[in-house]
Amino acid sequence: MLKSTLLQLVVILLVCGITVPVGLAVEPPSSNETASDDSPHPGGVIDATLPQLRGMIELYSADRRNIGRFYDAPMSKLASVRTREYLQHWQETLDSIDFEALDRDQKIDHLLFQNDLRYRLRSLQHQQLKEQQIEQFVPFAGVITSLQENRRQVDPVDGKQIANVLTDLVEAVKKVRTEIEQQLKEAGDGEGGFEIAVANRASRMVTRLQRTLSGWYGFYAGYDPLFTWWVEKPYKELEKTLKGYSKFIRTKVMAIQDDDDPPIIGDPVGREELMSMLEHEMIAYSPEQLIEIARQEFDWCRKEMVRAAQDLGYGDDWRKALEHVKELHVEPGKQPDLIRELAHEAVTFLEERDLVTIPALCKETWRMEMLSAARQKTSPYFLGGETIMVAFPTHEMEHQDKRMSMRGNNRHFARATVHHELIPGHHLQGFMTSRHRTHRRGFGTPFWMEGWALYWEMLLWDKDFAESAENRVGMLFWRTHRCARIIFSLSYHLGQMSAEEAIDFLVENVGHERNNATAEVRRSVSGSYGPLYQAAYMLGGLQLMALHRELVDSGQMTDREFHDRVLKNNSIPIDMVRAALSDVELKRDHRPSWLFYGAVAEGGIAPAGE
């Protein structure tokens, strides 16, 4: 199979007028060669100084990055063929390995590798379907793609011929724009039957094609005098035409007039793609069951919030308790001092209780930066890792926006999340994943990355980290927020909730400031995060809490042993963390079956607003 597909790819390359790369003609390995350090893989040989699967994964990851950088033309069929070819090569390699002969750590690597390959092949099909949906807008894309592919091969260019190609492209772009204008006019409703998500995807693709063309032109212009003489003016005309066409799609098809404050436009993926993603994350529940889990957790949070409100003297009015806490913020200029104080407080709490190993250098080397006003439009709260990015008002904000930023980043909200971003959260994670089983970083998942940080918010609640009712309100706000993320993000991608409904849901049921709720929804659905990313916080946290009950509450491990081992297995689906830490049976055809939350019926979409 591999040999025949290689031959097919060679034919495609020749038809496109592209020289066949030498490494592409490599013969596939025979079944008894796959474990050898001199196996003929496209990227070279496996590092024999490493365990077999680790060497394979490191070679695969490096090769895949090379392929992605080289075959970088947008909407490239050649790139799809080459990528599929490479993924199938590694599937065949893994199939030839004696799974039962591997030790447990390598069995986990094998399962992670196979899971990644299956998902990437499914994703190629999904990407092709999405590109087919925008072909009506960009029927000329193949010409630009071919120019970039020929450039990567450093093929000779004929300036006069290229000038003709670009001139024809200008007319092709104008023609499709006229056709769309006519369709809009005939529809009479300003929409022309175009889905706004598809139009948005098309507008972005036009911009990407224009930038690709710019890079292509810059490679030759000025260095090849005859090319420059012929091509400069046709290129500038095409660049102008493409920019105008992208703007036309946004202003006329999508009806966006204000690019400084555009409407929220997402791209729901649908249930089938969500199920594919959940399989990749090794989650055994359906999207509807995950929403029901979130509803149950939401109900618990609401009861605890009411209890905290009662302790603060507000009766059952949790909103008044939340308003009280939002006003407990520091003055302008004092937020960095507060963050430093809270970071040190969390480390002291962890070390006094011997909860996790914190290397001295990790404690020493985290940094702090401030988020700009523009960045806070999509990230109204902290971002973290080795550098914690702090949200607080800046002088150029409008007065009302300053108030919202201060209220949304008050002392007790911050106390509940600084440890999420730094230690034991993202900074400690990044420190450890760069030092242990580093080959697994290519399989990274937000269910481990965000789930770990959220897990600590839950565990610290159980260990009485909250010292006051205000502290509890701060912790409960974020925990409720993470439940809401599951509800609104999955509901959105299932087509059951609009972006505006999601904003209202956050304001009414969580207590967000509207600006912050808008920013939250915008970043969740605009495509900068994957469809499961926002759900991963709480769900990953619940997975780790379930695993903690299995291994720590049962007395098999201490807190410190458990947490250190989770970190040292790197960022992988938590189903595989469980496999690494326990004696669950591992089979070659492993599929997710762990019901970490127990049996769950598919329920309603969201708790009723109050």
pLDDT tens per residue, range 30-83: 333 344 445 567 777 888 888 999 999 999 999 999 999 999 999 999 999 999
DSSP letter at 381 equals: S
- What is the identity of the amino acid at 289? Q
d(CA 79, CA 73): 8
- Mean pLDDT for 426-430 is 96
- Mean pLDDT for 428-452 is 96
- Report residue 186 as tokens: 């005939």
Q: Determine whether 386 is exposed, middle or buried from the number of CB atoms within 10 Å of its CB (0-12, 13-18, 19+).
A: middle
Which of the residue ranges 161-165, 349-353, 402-406, 464-468 would you say has the lowest mean pLDDT? 402-406
**DSSP, residue by residue, 266-328:** -----HHHHHHHHHHTT--S-HHHHHHHHHHHHHHHHHHHHHHHHHTT-TT-HHHHHHHHHT-
Q: Tell me what the pLDDT averaged over the chain comes to.
A: 89
Task: Give just the sign of the alpha carbon dihedral 336, 340, 343, 346.
Answer: negative
The reported pLDDT for the residue numbered 604 is 43
- Band (260; pLDDT cuts 50, 70, 90): low
- pLDDT tens by residue, 171-180: 999 999 999 9
* Whether residue 287 has a cis bond before it, omega within 30° of 0: no
Number of H helices, E strands in the chain: 24, 2
The reported pLDDT for the residue numbered 523 is 82
**Cα 498–chain centre separation:** 21
The reported pLDDT for the residue numbered 393 is 78
d(CA 103, CA 171): 62
Separation of first and last alpha carbons in the chain: 60
**Residue 20 clears pLDDT 70, i.e. is over it:** no
Which of the residue ranges 89-93, 233-237, 604-608 would you say has the lowest mean pLDDT? 604-608
**Residue 316 clears pLDDT 70, i.e. is over it:** yes
Which of the residue ranges 119-128, 181-190, 333-342, 485-494 would you say has the lowest mean pLDDT? 181-190
- Mean pLDDT for 205-221 is 97
The reported pLDDT for the residue numbered 333 is 85
pTM value is 0.86
The reported pLDDT for the residue numbered 403 is 84
Other CB atoms within a 10 A radius of the CB of residue 299 amount to 12
- Mean pLDDT for 352-367 is 97
The reported pLDDT for the residue numbered 192 is 60
The reported pLDDT for the residue numbered 225 is 94
- Report residue 604 as tokens: 């309603």
Angle at 34 between CA 30 and CA 39, to 5 degrees: 85
Question: What are phi and psi for residue 391, nearest 5 degrees?
Answer: -95, 130
**Residue 388 clears pLDDT 80, i.e. is over it:** yes
- What is the identity of the amino acid at 292? E
The reported pLDDT for the residue numbered 36 is 43
Contact between 288 and 217 (Cβ < 8 Å): no
**Cα 77–chain centre separation:** 24
The reported pLDDT for the residue numbered 163 is 97
- pLDDT tens by residue, 218-235: 999 999 999 999 999 999
- Mean pLDDT for 505-517 is 87
The reported pLDDT for the residue numbered 379 is 74
- Mean pLDDT for 427-449 is 96
Integer angstrom CA distances of residue 535 from 122, 263, 294, 305, 492? 21, 23, 9, 21, 12
Smallest CA-to-CA distance from 150 within 49, 70, 249 is with: 70
- pLDDT tens by residue, 526-564: 877 899 999 999 999 999 999 999 999 999 999 999 999
The reported pLDDT for the residue numbered 8 is 42
d(CA 507, CA 241): 42
Smallest CA-to-CA distance from 27 within 53, 12, 6, 56 is with: 6
- Report residue 424 as tokens: 């034991």
d(CA 455, CA 351): 17
Question: What are phi and psi for residue 389, nearest 5 degrees?
Answer: -100, 115
